[in-house]
């Protein structure tokens, strides 16, 4: 055989052998790919079932799908029902075993995303099917969880912002409170019946029965006690079955009634609040419910923190955020002045009344006291006919045009304007005195005569110049504050009754106090109450007519020494300047009279209102004695 032929045969044999080897190699590669694909498919399917919360459908080795799903529900229940994304991040197979790393992203109720990498093992089960290997010594759901462990979520509450006064004085500051609630899973009718008697709140047993019938596990809130109050009930509460006592911090004023309803209250949001603003309010939070606490809730409210840990080791924080404290707000309330005002109002025993005080130098509202201490904030938001206090603005208008207080202006019992009879309080008459005495004795008819030459806007302009009816309510920082309204006169009768604060003229106690503060200061300065956050607007003082103010001060002093406000003449603390008011009202078919006094002593301007005074009474013998109590307590503080 030739060498060429031998070489040809050899080459053919090599080609045949190579062909057979290559075929076997390709088969091996194909088998490896199939095994890799099958194992990875099992990991991907498990990731998909986790994302869909259908873990009973996944394939497992070492447990059943039902058991795995039940264990998942127990281990992860605290994380909530938010969306889950699970992806296979890495994969490796070694023979009949494989490992994968799953990247888990779990959206929590607070919309934050808890992310972690979870290593899993896969193996071939009976029949050669790949499944997730379950190890009874550790958790399948997180590398830090032990066998039969679970995630624990702990909420951490920051401190609510405080309300602070001048110089950082405490108006509403964080103090310890005790929340009393009922655990319906443990309480009995007998124990809650005892609780009703201790806290004096009826209907608690009925609430418990409803919760138990509904199989509710949520705590039923009962009452929140200040520390001193709780200590008085502590022994009677401690051993009641199903009664839960939880301690926390909450801003409190010196007393339950201090500064109310202005300051407002803090408590859990109502069902209506949660339904209306679910992203802002959640059950279990503590939020502002009224007053400044509600108005500035977004600033005062802390941002809750939380931590996710293994239940077996709560020191090992897997994810979370720190709580952020709320921000303080600053107000001009002076605790000493506020306490004096509330002390005076205590004597009227929940009769509708109010006292407002203003720091003359700064224009800051130093006291807002209301009686009763619940309901409307009549001191700032009430709308009333101011009565003869309006004569301050009327007199300022006269004096700025050179009117002489020594001018004789008669004070008849009544007079007619366009056929409408206008009279004095209780039909009084004073003959023909000087205007200064008309002011001191508050003669309506004399004021109608003296102001007969006013234009339709003259009284309005004078009042606005002194701050009554000016646009300062938005700069005060308190929702609902009323600056008053002195409309343009629409006829002779309307103009006549406006000069002594009847007709369409309206004012709040605060707006009247602003007017008195302007006279005391000699300039108009818009009032302030909330100073941080700083409200919009300018508080630049505007000078008043000096000559007119000098005369007006004399007249207001004469009213105290020799007029309708003698009740405040002898109080301690220095000379008082004042003007009384007695205003008629008709509302809802009811008529009545309100008593007023406004003025100042030293650096404190004030206004006192007593609603619905008895027939025959006036501001001089209702509001003035209340003002005397206020000034006396303040002087002795």
Cβ 402 vs Cβ 396: under 8 Å: no
In angstroms, what CA-CA distances link 314 with 1, 112, 321, 545? 88, 20, 15, 72
**Token pair 């207001």 in the structure block, residue:** 556
Instruction: Give residue-wise pLDDT tens across range 321-370.
Output: 999 999 999 999 999 999 999 999 999 998 999 999 999 999 999 999 99
pLDDT of res. 31: 57
Q: By the 8 A CB rule, do 360 and 601 touch?
A: no
Handedness of CA 350, 352, 353, 356 (dihedral sign): positive
Distance CA 301, CA 447 (A): 52
Percent of the chain with pLDDT over 90: 86
Q: What one-character-per-residue DSSP string does 22-54 give?
A: HHHHHHHHHHHHHHHHHHHHHHHHHHHHHHHT-
Rounded Cα distance, 214 and 329, in Å: 42
Least reliable range by pLDDT among 40-54, 270-284, 620-634:
270-284
Tokens of 154: 């702990």
The string of pLDDT tens digits covering residues 433-471 is 999 999 999 999 999 999 999 999 999 999 999 999 999
Q: Do 150 and 311 form a contact (C-beta atoms < 8 A)? A: yes
Q: What is the pLDDT of residues 255-295, one digit of tens each?
A: 999 999 999 999 999 989 999 998 888 888 899 999 999 99
Class for the domain spanning 156-327: alpha beta
The DSSP bridge partners found for residue 92 are 99
Instruction: Tokens for 245, please give them.
Output: 């006592």
As a whole number of angstroms, the distance between CA 307 and CA 319 comes to 6
* Spatial distance between the Cα atoms of 9 and 4, rounded to a whole number of angstroms: 9
pLDDT at 32: 67
**Torsion on CA atoms 373, 374, 379, 385, rounded to nearest 10:** -120
**Stretch among 29-43, 55-69, 439-453, 481-495 having the lowest mean pLDDT:** 29-43
Mean of the per-residue pLDDT values of the chain: 93
Q: Residue 28: its pLDDT value, please? A: 52
State both tokens at 94: 């070694």
pLDDT band (50, 70, 90) for residue 556: very high
Q: How many CB atoms lie within 10 A of CB 373?
A: 18
Q: What is the pLDDT of residues 502-529, one digit of tens each?
A: 999 999 999 999 999 999 999 999 999 9
Contact predicate 357/343, CB 8 Å = no
Average pLDDT rounded to a whole number, residues 61-79? 96
Distance between CA atoms of residues 366 and 336, nearest Å: 9
Q: Please name the fold of domain 26-149.
A: Nuclear Transport Factor 2; Chain: A, (3.10.450)
Q: Which top CATH class is 335-388+452-635?
A: alpha beta
To the question of pTM greater than 0.85 for the whole model, the response is: no
Domain locations in the chain?
Answer: 26-149, 156-327, 335-388+452-635
Alpha-carbon distance of 283 to 237, in angstroms, equals 25
pLDDT of 7 reads 37
Residue 69 has pLDDT above 90, yes or no: yes
Predicted confidence at residue 434, as pLDDT, reads 97
Q: What is the pLDDT of residue 30?
A: 63
Distance CA 595, CA 602 (A): 23
pLDDT score at 4: 40
Instruction: Give tens-digit pLDDT for 389-425.
Output: 999 999 999 999 999 999 999 999 999 999 999 998 8
SS3 percent helix, strand, coil of the chain, rounded to 5, is: 40, 25, 35
Q: Which residues 6+ apart lie within 8 Å of 1 measured at CB?
A: none
% of the chain surpassing 70 pLDDT: 95
* Burial environment of residue 78 by CB neighbours within 10 A (0 to 12, 13 to 18, 19 or more): middle
Q: Is the model's pLDDT at 81 over the cut of 80?
A: yes
How do beta strands 353-359 and 604-610 pair? Answer: antiparallel
The Cα–Cα gap between 503 and 489 comes to 10
- The beta-strand segments (E) located in 95-169 are 97-107, 113-124, 130-133, 151-156, 163-164
Q: What tokens appear for 242 in the block?
A: 């199903």
């Amino acid at each position: 055989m030739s060498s060429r032929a031998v070489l040809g045969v050899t080459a053919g044999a090599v080609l045949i052998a190579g062909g057979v080897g290559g075929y076997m190699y390709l088969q091996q590669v194909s088998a490896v790919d199939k095994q890799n694909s099958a194992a990875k498919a099992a990991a991907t399917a498990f990731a998909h079932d986790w994302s869909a919360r259908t873990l009973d459908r996944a394939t497992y080795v070492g447990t059943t799908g039902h058991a795995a799903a039940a264990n998942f529900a127990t281990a992860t229940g605290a994380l909530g029902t938010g969306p889950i994304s699970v992806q296979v991040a890495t994969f490796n197979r070694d023979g009949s075993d494989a490992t994968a790393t799953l990247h888990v992203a779990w959206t929590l109720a607070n919309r934050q995303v808890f992310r972690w990498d979870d290593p899993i093992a896969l193996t071939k089960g009976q029949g050669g099917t790949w499944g997730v290997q379950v190890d009874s010594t550790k958790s399948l759901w997180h590398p830090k969880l032990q066998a039969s462990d679970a995630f624990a979520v702990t909420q951490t509450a920051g401190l609510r912002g405080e309300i602070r006064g001048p110089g950082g004085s405490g108006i509403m500051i964080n103090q310890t409170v005790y929340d009393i609630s009922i655990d319906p899973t443990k309480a009995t009718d007998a124990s809650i019946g005892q609780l009703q008697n201790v806290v004096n709140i009826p209907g608690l047993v009925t609430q418990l029965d409803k919760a138990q019938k509904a199989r509710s596990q949520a705590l039923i809130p009962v009452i929140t006690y200040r520390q001193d109050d709780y200590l008085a009930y502590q022994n009677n509460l401690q051993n009641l079955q199903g009664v839960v006592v939880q301690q926390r911090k909450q801003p409190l004023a010196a007393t339950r009634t201090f500064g109310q309803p202005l300051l407002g209250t803090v408590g859990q949001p109502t069902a209506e609040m949660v339904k209306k603003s679910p992203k802002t309010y959640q059950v279990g939070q503590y939020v502002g419910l009224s007053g400044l606490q509600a108005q500035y809730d977004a600033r005062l409210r802390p941002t809750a923190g939380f931590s996710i840990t293994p239940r077996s080791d709560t020191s090992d924080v897997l994810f979370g955020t720190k709580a952020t404290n709320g921000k303080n707000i600053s107000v001009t309330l002076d605790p000493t002045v506020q306490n004096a005002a509330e002390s005076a109002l205590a004597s009227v025993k929940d009769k509708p009344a109010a006292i407002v005080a203003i720091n003359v130098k700064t224009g800051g509202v130093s006291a807002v006291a209301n009686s009763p201490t619940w309901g409307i904030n009549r001191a700032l938001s009430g709308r009333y006919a101011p009565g003869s206090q309006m004569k301050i603005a009327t007199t300022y208008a006269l004096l700025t045009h050179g009117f002489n207080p020594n001018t004789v202006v008669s004070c008849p019992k009544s007079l007619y304007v366009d056929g409408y009879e206008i009279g004095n309080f209780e039909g009084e008459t004073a003959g023909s005195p000087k205007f200064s005495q008309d002011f001191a004795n508050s003669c309506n008819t004399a004021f109608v005569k003296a102001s007969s030459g006013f234009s339709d806007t003259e009284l309005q302009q004078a009042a606005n110049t002194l701050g009554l009816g000016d646009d300062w309510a938005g700069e005060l920082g308190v929702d609902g504050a009323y600056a008053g309204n002195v409309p343009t006169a629409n006829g002779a009768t309307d103009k006549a009754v406006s000069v002594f604060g009847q007709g369409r003229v309206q004012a709040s106690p605060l707006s009247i106090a602003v007017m008195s503060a302007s006279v005391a200061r000699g300039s108009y300065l818009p009032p302030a109450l909330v100073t941080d956050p700083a409200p919009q607007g300018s508080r630049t003082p505007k000078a008043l007519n000096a000559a007119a103010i000098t005369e007006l001060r004399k007249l207001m002093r004469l009213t105290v020494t020799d007029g309708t406000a003698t009740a405040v003449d002898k109080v301690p603390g220095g000379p008082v300047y004042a003007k009384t008011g007695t205003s008629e009202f008709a509302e809802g078919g009811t008529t009545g009279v309100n008593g007023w006094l406004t003025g100042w002593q030293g650096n404190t301007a004030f206004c006192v209102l007593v609603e619905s005074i008895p027939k025959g009474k006036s501001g001089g013998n209702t509001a003035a004695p209340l003002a005397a109590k206020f000034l006396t307590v303040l002087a002795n503080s």
